[in-house]
Amino acid sequence: MVQDTLTGTVVAPWSPLYDTARVDYNSLFPPFSPAYIVYCQKTLDVKRAVHWAVHHKVPFRIRSGGHSYEAYSLLNGGLVIDVSRINHVHYNAVTGIAQIGAGAKLLDIYQELWDQSRVSIPGGSCATVGIAGLTLGGGFGLISRKFGLTCDSLESLTMVGARGQILEVSASRHPDLFWASRGGGGNNFGAVTEFRFRAYPVSDVSIFFLQWEWNRLPEVLRGFQQWSDPRLLDDRIVAILTLPAAITRHVSISGQFLGEPRELLPLLAPLFAIAGMTEKVIRAMPYIDAVKHFAGLSMDPERWIAQGVPNRETFKNTSAYTFEIFSDSAIGVIQAALLHVPGPASLVQLDTYGGAIARIADNATAFPHRKARACLQFQTYWSEPAQNNAHIRWVENFRRAMLPYTIGAYVNYCDGNIKRWPRDYYDGNLARLLAIKKRWDPHNVFRFPQGLCQLT
C-alpha cells in the first residue's frame, strides 16, 4: 500500500480532501488528476516521497504555495509532494537569522517576523505565495532595492536531492547548488524543505499613490523612467507604474519608502511635476500594515495592490525586462495594446530595479537580470471560460510586440508560450545551470515543463 511508504498525510482520489487539493491557484487550468498528493510535515516525509516516486517510476511535482502561473506544481497520474505544512517561522535575535519552512506563505512570514522581533526579509507582495518558489527564482518585493532580492538574503537551505539524500546547502557546503538555488528556478535540482535567511530591522514606512488621466500615459511613462534611473533613485524606494486598459481612464504610480513622509516628499518631486495629476496620497504606517495594503488586504485594494487584480482567479501573465528608456515607438506599442483589450482587467506593470539588486554581479547568483531598469508584467484577468483565448492571445501579442524594446523574462512569472525560455529566464547563467543539473540530477528526476531537465 502507498500509505505504508509515504508518510505525512496521503490524499488519494477517494479521499475527502482530494477535490480541493488538486485544484490550481489559476482557474485557467481545469482540476488535475494526480494519483496521490502527500502533504509532508517534515524533511523525512519529503525524502520518503522522492524515494518512493523514483523507486516506483512515478512522475512527481513539488508544491509549496501552489502559485505557479502555468500550474507546474501539479500533474495528472503522478505524485504531488506538497510541503505547505512545513511552514514554521523562527527568528534568532542573536544571529539575525530567520529559519523558515519551505511551505510558509509570505503574509504569515511577515507577520511572524514582525511579531517576533520587528524584522523582515525582502520578499514579494502577494499574501499567499510560498517562500520556496519565490526564493528559488530570485524574489522581488517592496524592500528589494534596499536589501536585494529574496535569494540575496539566503544563508543556507535544506534540500532533498535526486537520490533521496538530505543535503545541507550553503556557500561553503555544496556551493554550486547554493549558487543555483538563488535564481535558478524552483524544483530544478531538489525539493527544498527549509531556508535560513538574514533578516533586517523594519519599523514605520511611507506608502504613496499618484494618479493621472489615461491620456497622460506618454508623459507619465517617460517621467517615471527618467525618475527611476536605477543608478540614481534612492534605495529606500520601490515604485510600481501601473498602466491599465484605456477604458479605466487612469494610470498610476504606487510604492513604498523606508522612511518618513517628510523625507519622501522631495524625492517624489519630479513625479509631482508631471502635468495632469488627479490624485496624490502619501501615508505613514507600520511596515506590517503596508505589507497588508500591497497584498490587497486594505479597504481599497484596487488602489494599493502590488500584483494583479483582486478577486480574479483566472489570469494569464508574462514578463520581460527593460534596460533602456522606452522610445516613442515603444510607448506607441504600449498605448495601442491598452486601447484594444479583451477585457477591462488588462494591464502592464513596471517594477523598479536597481539599488541593492544591481550591486551584485549577474553571475554571482543564478539570477541574471540584475542590471535591468525595470521588470514588465503583462497581465490580464477574467472570469468566463469563453474569454480564455482572447485574453491569452492579447498577452502573447503584447509581449511579442515589445520584443524589440525588451530582453529576457522572469522565471517566477513562467509562461509556456515563450519558446526561447531557457535563454530568456537564465541568460548568461544557463550553461552553468545545466552543468549543475547534470551533476546533481543526471537522470532528470526533478522534471516539469520548462524545467532544466528538458535540455540535458
**What is the model's pLDDT at position 455?**
59
What are residue 108's DSSP bridge partners? none
Q: What is the mean pLDDT of residues 102-117?
A: 97
Rounded CA-CA distance 311/345 in Å is 11
CA distance readout (Å), 376 to 4, 97, 323, 402: 47, 32, 11, 10
Q: What is the mean pLDDT of residues 105-120?
A: 97
Q: What is the mean pLDDT of residues 271-300?
A: 92
> Which of 241, 206, 190, 242 is CA-nearest to residue 347?
242
The pLDDT tens digits of the residues spanning 9-58 come to: 999 999 999 999 999 999 999 999 999 999 999 999 999 999 999 999 99
E strands, 231-352, where? 237-244, 250-257, 277-286, 314-322, 346-352
Given a cut of 80, whether residue 3 has pLDDT beyond it is: no
**What is the model's pLDDT at position 350?**
98
Average pLDDT, the chain: 95
Beta carbons within 8 Å of 6's beta carbon, 6+ residues apart: 36, 38, 45, 48, 49, 52
Given a cut of 90, whether residue 393 has pLDDT beyond it is: yes
**What is the model's pLDDT at position 313?**
79
What are residue 378's DSSP bridge partners? 318, 348
Given a cut of 80, whether residue 308 has pLDDT beyond it is: no
Q: How does residue 7 score in pLDDT terms, banded at 50, 70 and 90? A: very high
The pLDDT tens digits of the residues spanning 143-182 come to: 999 999 999 999 999 999 999 999 999 999 999 999 999 9
Given a cut of 90, whether residue 307 has pLDDT beyond it is: no
SS3 441: coil
Q: Would you say how long the chain is, in residues? A: 456
Q: What is the mean pLDDT of residues 100-125?
A: 97
**What is the model's pLDDT at position 221?**
98
Q: How does residue 234 score in pLDDT terms, banded at 50, 70 and 90? A: very high
**What is the model's pLDDT at position 5?**
86
**What is the model's pLDDT at position 90?**
98
The DSSP code sequence of 228-265 is: T-TTTS-TTEEEEEEEE-GGG-EEEEEEEESS-HHHHH
Given a cut of 50, whether residue 1 has pLDDT beyond it is: no
Predicted structure pTM score: 0.95
**What is the model's pLDDT at position 137?**
97
Domains detected in the chain: 2-82 (3.30.43.10), 89-201+430-442 (3.30.465.10), 204-421 (3.40.462.20)
- Greater confidence (414 vs 453) lies with 414
Q: What is the mean pLDDT of residues 273-298?
A: 93
**What is the model's pLDDT at position 225?**
97
